[in-house]
Amino acid sequence: MSTYLDTPAGRRIAYARQPGSGPGVVFLGGFKSDMTGTKALYLQDWATRRGRGFLRFDYSGHGASSGLFEQGAIGDWAEDARHVIEALTEGPQILVGSSMGGWIALLLARAMPHRVAGIVTIAAAPDFTERGFWAKFSEDQRQTVLRDGRIELPSEYADTPYVITRRLIEDGRDHLILNQPLRLDMPVRMLQGTADADVPMTWALDLLDHAEGRDIRLLLVKGADHRFSTPECLRAIERQIEQIDEID
């Protein structure tokens, strides 16, 4: 059962937390996903078996949290994540970010590096509002967004379409990662499937090339798709967290 945190911005964030040894693990979900997904629940079970602190939550407009999805943007969701971590955890945490959650993990590492013990990304999608949506829109689609403030796109992951708003695009430009230096002074483990149809493998290589740090590694998993939720993929996530644990 979820409990709730009210943020200074007036958003009510649903979360599930378990106490345990540290550094704790915080799961950051993807675009229009929630904290009941396969990866989040697998990691909670893993953390329970090892007596580790673990936190999962829904961004505003997602899952059981307050707000409408189409009213949110990257800056809001990164702010939600920051408030949750500051209010509900102590000390440095290992951030596990899936897809959009990878972008948010990198924003948090830039904004509060003292609270980040390590990062594991899964099909990280930094700047996807610009590199994905806007770059692929036709001129007619761009004009629709500018004129109407929104456009609906079909989703293969849900029955309802994605609503992409002008605010999402414009706010995304205020939170880009790849247009400025990115220093990561904590261990970073990036996971990417070669059969991912949503986040190109080249994006992972671009991020690896762009980020600066002493311990940044990319693991390509042949045949894995964007969900990255097969038993083999889930164990790969677990192993990356354990690699970070082993670092002094």
| Catalytically active residues, by annotation | 99, 196, 226
| Among 201, 205, 208, 204, CA closest to 225 | 201
CB 226 within 8 A of CB 99: yes
Q: Residues near 248 by Cβ (< 8 Å), separated by ≥ 6?
A: none
| Among 206, 189, 199, 248, CA closest to 224 | 199
CB 178 within 8 A of CB 235: no
Q: On the CB side of 55, how many CA atoms lie within 13 Å of its CA?
A: 30
Assigned token pair, 89: 């955890």
Cα separation of 8 and 194, whole Å? Answer: 40
Q: How many helices (H) and strands (E) does the chain have?
A: 9, 12
Q: Residues near 182 by Cβ (< 8 Å), separated by ≥ 6?
A: 106, 110, 210, 211, 212
Q: Which neighbouring-strand residues pair with 216?
A: 188
- State the residue for tokens 């596990």: 96
Cα separation of 248 and 242, whole Å? Answer: 12
